[in-house]
Structures are given as structure tokens and as C-alpha cells.
């Protein structure tokens, strides 16, 4: 069997979740089915639950401090009030082309908060973040570390309205929408934040480094541990990032277990 650098317990958990979600075998480029099965068996023998005694994550960095306000007025301290304001927001040009504001999915008292980039066509139509193929991949990756938007994860985006043609969000749009995200983080108060994609990674880490250099470390967003990884939509287009993404989710799990 070729050497595989990941913990057998973690791989076992991931393969088990792949089977439960009927996700096929797309993720492992460097393992045969027999090798994966062998590692699953090893992981089962050693207990395929959450990893025990995780190693220390890299040292934290401090993100830019911020305060959630809107035009000088502090946003509501209650979640329902915040959502109500966001759903009718017209603070930037993206209000003109949206079908609806995409505020969040998952549970507001989640342990983990996933922050993506902006709604796409499916999200604009359904009103939920991370639906379609990228959403399924995110669910699979979360399941691989025993997390779920139904029980332990809150999901939202930096930008709440769909940019036309799925173009990148513009700096003034990010600035206009950021108070909602900051308030969401404050009210959900997650134990760990996972930023997926360049825009969320840069905004929350306060670093301008490219995503490939940003990932792999643990940052601090105003005291909350922050892990950065690739966006699932980008991962679907570039399978070469699969291993790095897998490692980032393992890091997320370790940080969560240490919190």
C-alpha cells in the first residue's frame, strides 16, 4: 500500500460519509478502492469518531477589528431583527438585479460558521446559500468531519445578493454588505469560522495574500479561530486542490475539538 499522510480514523470517517451520501469515489486521486477500504478498516478498529488528542494548530493572527453598524447606526442585537433588515436591504447596486436576499442556512446557534462569497443563480432562486453541486460538495466535506448544516453549522456569504452574471463582488459592494456579516458572526458566536474562497478569506483574515498562501493556518477573527480553504465551486473545477481542502477540513475539526 502506498503511504498516505492522513490519519486513518479521519479517512475512515470520510469514506463512511461518502457512502452514506452516495457520493461515489471522485475525491481520492491517489488511493485505490482496496487501499481506501483497508484504511477504513484500520480506522474502524481504532474508533472512527472524532480525532483524539489533535496537534497544535499554527499560531493565530489577528484580523482587522470591525464593528457592525449601518450608516453609523448599530444593527439590531437580535437575530430576527437583523435578518428582517437584510431581507429588504438596498444599500448597494446588487439589490436591483436580485430575486431575493440570500441571508443564511443552517442553525443560528451553530458551533461552526461557514462564510462563502456571494449567491449564484441557484441561491438567488431558492434564497439559500450553497445549493446545487457546490452545496452538495460542501455538505460532503462537512460530513467528513462530523458536521452538518442541520445540526452544527451556520452558512452565509460575504455578499447577500447575486452579482449579475456571477461576476466577482466589487469592493464597494463588500464594504456595503460587510456589516451584516459582522453582525451575523457576533450573534451566532461560533466556536470556529470557516472562510471558503478568496473574498471571505481575505476579508475575515485581514490578509491580502492569495488563497493558496492563506490557507493552512489558523487566524483569529476578533478572538474566534478562523480557518480558510478553497471554495467548493472552485474545487469542482480544479480537483488538484482536493488534498489541500481535505487537510483544511481536518484542521477545522482539530480546532473545533480544542475549543
Contact residues for ligand SF4 (CB under 6 A)? 86, 89-92, 94-95, 101, 159-161, 173, 176-177
- In contact, 194 and 245? CB cutoff 8 Å: no
Least CB distance from residue 98 to ligand SF4, whole Å? 7
Q: Which is nearer to ligand SF4, 3 or 72 (CB)?
A: 72
Please give the DSSP secondary-structure letter assigned to residue 222: T
Quote the Cα angle for 184-157-148, to 5°: 80
Q: Which is nearer to ligand SF4, 101 or 227 (CB)?
A: 101
Burial of residue 30 (number of CB atoms within 10 Å: 0-12, 13-18, 19+): exposed
Least CB distance from residue 154 to ligand SF4, whole Å? 17
Q: Which is nearer to ligand SF4, 176 or 255 (CB)?
A: 176
Q: Which is nearer to ligand SF4, 43 or 197 (CB)?
A: 197
- In contact, 38 and 65? CB cutoff 8 Å: no
Q: Which is nearer to ligand SF4, 157 or 229 (CB)?
A: 157
Least CB distance from residue 109 to ligand SF4, whole Å? 23
Least CB distance from residue 157 to ligand SF4, whole Å? 9
Least CB distance from residue 118 to ligand SF4, whole Å? 8
Q: Which is nearer to ligand SF4, 88 or 240 (CB)?
A: 88
Residue by residue, DSSP assigns 59-109 as PP-BPPP---EETTEEPPSSHHHHHHHHHT--SSGGGTT-SS----EE-TT
Least CB distance from residue 114 to ligand SF4, whole Å? 18
Least CB distance from residue 101 to ligand SF4, whole Å? 5
Q: Which is nearer to ligand SF4, 89 or 110 (CB)?
A: 89
Cell 453598524 -> residue:
69
- How many other CB atoms are found less than 10 A from the CB of residue 208? 7
Cell 431583527 -> residue:
81
Identify the three-state secondary structure at position 52.
Answer: coil
- What H or E segment, with its residue span, contains residue 155? strand 153-157
Q: What are phi and psi of 227, to 5 degrees?
A: -115, 140
Identify the three-state secondary structure at position 119.
Answer: coil
Cell readout for 239 is 480537483
Amino acid at each position: 500500500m502506498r503511504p498516505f499522510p492522513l490519519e486513518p480514523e479521519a479517512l475512515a470517517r470520510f469514506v463512511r460519509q461518502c457512502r452514506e451520501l452516495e457520493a461515489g469515489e471522485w475525491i481520492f486521486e491517489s488511493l485505490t478502492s482496496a487501499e481506501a477500504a483497508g484504511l477504513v478498516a484500520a480506522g474502524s478498529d481504532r474508533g472512527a469518531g472524532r480525532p483524539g488528542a489533535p496537534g497544535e494548530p499554527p499560531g493565530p493572527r489577528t484580523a482587522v477589528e470591525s464593528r457592525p453598524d449601518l450608516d453609523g447606526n448599530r444593527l439590531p442585537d437580535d437575530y430576527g431583527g437583523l435578518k428582517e433588515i437584510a431581507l429588504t436591504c438596498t444599500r448597494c447596486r446588487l439589490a436591483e438585479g436580485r430575486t431575493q436576499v440570500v441571508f443564511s442556512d443552517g442553525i443560528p446557534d451553530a458551533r461552526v460558521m461557514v462564510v462563502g462569497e456571494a449567491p449564484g443563480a441557484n441561491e438567488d432562486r431558492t434564497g439559500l446559500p450553497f445549493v446545487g453541486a457546490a452545496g452538495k460538495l460542501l455538505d460532503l466535506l462537512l460530513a467528513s468531519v462530523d458536521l452538518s448544516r442541520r445540526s452544527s453549522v451556520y452558512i452565509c456569504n460575504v455578499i447577500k445578493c447575486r452579482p449579475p452574471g456571477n461576476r466577482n463582488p466589487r469592493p464597494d459592494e463588500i464594504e456595503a454588505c460587510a456589516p451584516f456579516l459582522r453582525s451575523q458572526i457576533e450573534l451566532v458566536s461560533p466556536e470556529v469560522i470557516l472562510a471558503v474562497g478568496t473574498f471571505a478569506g481575505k476579508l475575515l483574515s485581514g490578509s491580502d495574500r492569495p488563497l493558496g498562501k492563506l490557507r493552512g493556518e489558523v487566524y483569529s477573527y476578533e478572538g474566534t479561530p478562523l480557518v480558510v480553504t478553497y471554495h467548493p465551486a472552485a474545487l469542482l473545477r480544479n480537483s488538484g486542490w482536493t488534498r489541500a481542502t481535505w487537510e483544511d477540513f481536518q484542521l477545522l475539526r482539530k480546532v473545533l475539538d480544542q475549543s
